[in-house]
């Protein structure tokens, strides 16, 4: 992607990045697809501001503040958007049609802002609880927004959704270790390093450490446990959406399988789904 400049920052990219999991696919009921696409475009636009191109941290935070202000205007009922109409006009329609909880959208922005600050300051996460709090804002709101659209709002379903979304976020972290570490992004909780003999204060030494694979295996087990804890939600989400959620769960588990099959070497290699994985995913989906 070209460097971010003043013009590029006016229009965050639409959903065009590599995705392991389906987004607003044909399995989503047709009447909900515009709202689902609007939510993902909002999240992706903020993520691109926080993460893509070569903008300074100060510019990223300023743009996220402007993005937050446009969200507030959108929530207040503004019918026009000066900078990001492709994001906020559809989002405004979804907010009005489905009474989406604005706090969940604000949580996403909070997480993106945190990412910018953590990367700027070369800081990671001291504990699993600290990382889980980040996931609570960076991932869980999307699942809760989807359940809101489907009218599923009982406490058990929300808890299971949070487990799935947090697991997906963690899977993304453990899949992207070879990408994130060179960019100065550290998601492995520092408290998980000493038991494997790794220095939590020296993340650049982790890939070459003889116990690096053992550390990744520990994190993979954590993500798998969370995913399996949330998986029963697929039977509570109605219709085709439940089948899409099955594919999401199985896609995440398949990435974990690939990390394991590669010797937990994701500090060196980024596993991803291939076309030949899909028959297996569909088969596993049928038997959930």
pLDDT of residue 205: 95
Q: Report the candidate in 39, 246, 29, 12 with the shortest Cα–Cα distance to residue 142.
A: 39
Q: Is residue 55 domain-shared with residue 139, that is, in the same domain?
A: no
Cα Rg of the chain, angstroms: 19
pLDDT of residue 153: 92
| Non-local CB neighbours of 240 within 8 Å, separated by 6+ positions | 27, 28, 29
Give 271's pLDDT tier (boundaries 50, 70, 90): very high
CA separation for the pair 25, 272 (Å, rounded): 19
* pTM to 2 decimal places: 0.88
Instruction: CATH number of the domain at 217, please.
Output: 1.10.600.10
pLDDT for residue 188 is more than 50 = yes
State the burial class of residue 156 (Cβ atoms within 10 Å of its Cβ: 0-12, 13-18, 19+).
exposed
Last residue of one domain, picked from the residues 106, 121, 136: 121
pLDDT of residue 7: 32
Quote the longest CA-to-CA distance of the chain.
57
pLDDT for residue 24 is more than 90 = no
Last residue of one domain, picked from the residues 121, 155, 173: 121
Residue 101 backbone zone (phi > 0: left; psi -120 to 50: alpha; other: beta): beta
Q: Is residue 136 domain-shared with residue 263, that is, in the same domain?
A: yes
Q: Would residue 228 count as lying in a domain?
A: yes
User: Residue 243 is part of which domain span?
Assistant: 123-288
pLDDT for residue 46 is more than 50 = yes
Condensed to tens digits (0 to 9), the pLDDT of residues 108-157 reads 999 999 999 999 999 999 999 999 999 999 999 999 999 999 999 999 99
CA separation for the pair 95, 34 (Å, rounded): 11
Q: Is residue 135 domain-shared with residue 270, that is, in the same domain?
A: yes
Last residue of one domain, picked from the residues 121, 150, 182: 121
pLDDT of residue 27: 65
Compute the average pLDDT of residues 188-200.
97
Compute the average pLDDT of residues 243-262.
94
Q: Is residue 106 domain-shared with residue 127, that is, in the same domain?
A: no
pLDDT for residue 28 is more than 50 = yes
Residue 25 or 229, more confident: 229
Q: Report the candidate in 237, 281, 25, 17 with the shortest Cα–Cα distance to residue 146.
A: 237
């Amino acid at each position: 992607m070209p460097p971010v400049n003043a013009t590029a920052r006016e229009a965050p990219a639409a959903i065009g990045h590599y995705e392991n999991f389906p987004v607003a696919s044909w399995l989503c009921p047709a009447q909900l697809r515009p709202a689902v696409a609007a939510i993902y475009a909002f999240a992706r636009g903020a993520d691109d501001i926080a993460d893509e191109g070569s903008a300074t941290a100060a510019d990223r935070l300023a743009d996220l503040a402007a993005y937050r202000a446009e969200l507030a205007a959108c929530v207040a009922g503004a019918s026009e958007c000066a900078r990001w109409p492709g994001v906020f006009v559809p989002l405004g329609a979804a907010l009005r049609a489905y009474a989406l909880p604005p706090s969940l959208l604000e949580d996403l922005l909070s997480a993106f802002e945190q990412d910018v600050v953590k990367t700027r300051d070369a800081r990671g996460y001291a504990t699993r609880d600290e990382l889980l709090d980040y996931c609570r804002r960076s991932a869980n709101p999307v699942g809760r927004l989807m359940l809101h659209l489907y009218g599923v709002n009982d406490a058990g379903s929300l808890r299971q959704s949070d487990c799935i979304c947090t697991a997906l976020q963690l899977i993304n972290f453990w899949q992207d270790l070879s990408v994130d570490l060179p960019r100065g992004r550290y998601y492995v909780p520092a408290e998980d390093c000493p038991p494997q003999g790794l220095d939590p204060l020296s993340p650049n030494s982790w890939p070459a450490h003889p116990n690096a694979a053992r550390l990744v295996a520990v994190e993979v087990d954590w993500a798998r446990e969370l995913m399996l804890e949330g998986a029963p939600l697929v039977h509570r989400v109605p219709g085709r959406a439940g089948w899409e959620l099955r594919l999401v769960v199985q896609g995440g588990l398949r990435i974990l399988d690939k990390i394991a099959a590669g010797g937990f070497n994701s500090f060196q290699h980024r596993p991803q789904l291939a076309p030949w994985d899909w028959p297996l995913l569909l088969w596993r989906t049928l038997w959930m």
